[in-house]
Amino acid sequence: MTTIAHRLFPRAHGKEAIVALSAVIAGGIGSVAALATVVLIILGH
Amino acid sequence: MLEDIMWLFINLVLPVTAPILGMWLEIVSARNIRDDAERLEALRRRRIVMLFKDGQLGWVGLLMCFAAVSDMLDGIRKHGLPVWAPLVVVALLGLVYTSGYFATKGAVDTAEALDDFAWRRFPEDYPSAFYTIIFTLISAVLFAGTHFWAK
């Protein structure tokens, strides 16, 4: 987890990289939910 | 149809392109500076990346999320509660958190504007810009989806 965080945010210090990674994960989950929502709207549900 | 195109242009295209137009005017005016060193320095500070490098698009993404909530409530009044309502809640929670975080991070840790710009290094050089561009695009899709559903 820490390794991925520091790879994505090499200039972030300490736990800042973990917090930034949590934001990316939250955004990823939100994005999947948003796209699924739009697909369901298009399908007429 | 024309109304829909105008809605897309005013709500999704204009908030991003208007600042770019403003920057273009700044660049045009800076080209008239007579002193060479002063002109080069002025042009160095007037680049499109300056508009996005500190996650400024995060604020746009946040507003799109809040506008999606407003459209969603209008839609619920008209069509009732849709089956995908829980998905919208998850989408909004995730996108609001990430947009708010990167917009704030950019304000706290201002990215250094590098002279050499490379798309390959973009996520590393300007992480706040990189992530806010992606998540603002997704927020725009959600906003448009809920708007056209609510109509």
Closest residue to B142, CB basis, from A20, A26, A37: A37
Provide the sign of the torsion angle of the four alpha carbons A31, A35, A36, A37, taken in this order: positive
Packing angle, helices A16-43 and B127-150, rounded to 10: 30
- Mean pLDDT for B74-78 is 94
By the 8 A CB rule, do B55 and B105 touch? yes
Q: What is the pLDDT of residues B84-141, one digit of tens each?
A: 999 999 999 999 999 999 999 888 888 887 878 788 888 888 889 999 999 999 999 9
pLDDT-derived band at A7 (thresholds 50, 70, 90) equals: confident
Question: Which chain A residues are Cβ-neighbours of B94 within 8 angstroms?
Answer: 26-31, 33-34
Residue type, B85: A
On average, the pLDDT of chain B sits at 92
Q: Do B98 and A10 touch (CB under 8 A)?
A: no
How far, in Å, CA of B122 to CA of B51, rounded?
Answer: 14
**Burial grade of B142 (CB within 10 A; 0-12, 13-18, 19 or more):** buried
Question: What are the residue ranges spanned by the domains of chain A?
Answer: 2-43
Q: Is the dihedral of CA B126, B111, B21, B23 positive or negative?
A: negative
CB contacts, 8 Å: B101 with chain A? 19-20, 23
The partner residue sitting opposite A37, judged by closest CB among B88, B97, B131, is B88
The residues near B8 (Cβ < 8 Å, ≥ 6 apart) are B144
Q: What is the pLDDT of residue B80?
A: 92
User: What are the chain A neighbours of B97 within 8 Å (beta carbons)?
Assistant: 23, 26-27, 30
- Summarised one tens digit per residue, pLDDT across range B29-61 is 999 898 999 999 888 889 888 899 899 999 999
Q: Give the number of other CB atoms < 10 A from CB of residue B45.
A: 10
Among chain A residues, CA nearest to B91: A30
pLDDT given at position B119: 85
ipTM over 0.90: no
Query: What is the torsional sign of CA B65, B69, B74, B78?
Result: positive
CA distance A32 to chain B (A): 7
Residue B90: list chain A partners with CB under 8 A.
29-30, 33
User: What per-residue string of b and e applies to A5-30 under the rule 16 or more CB within 10 Å gives b?
Assistant: bbebbeebeeebbeebbebbebbebb
CB contact set of B100 (below 8 Å; sequence gap of 6+): B58, B62
Using an 8 Å CB-CB cutoff, list chain B residues near A26.
93-94, 97-98
Give one word for B111, left, alpha or beta, with left for phi > 0 and alpha for psi -120 to 50: beta
Question: Pick the residue with more confidence: B118 or B10?
Answer: B10
Quote the pTM value. 0.88
Does the distance separating the beta carbons of B102 and A23 come in below 8 Å?
A: yes
Q: Are A23 and B91 an interchain contact pair (Cβ–Cβ within 8 Å)?
A: no
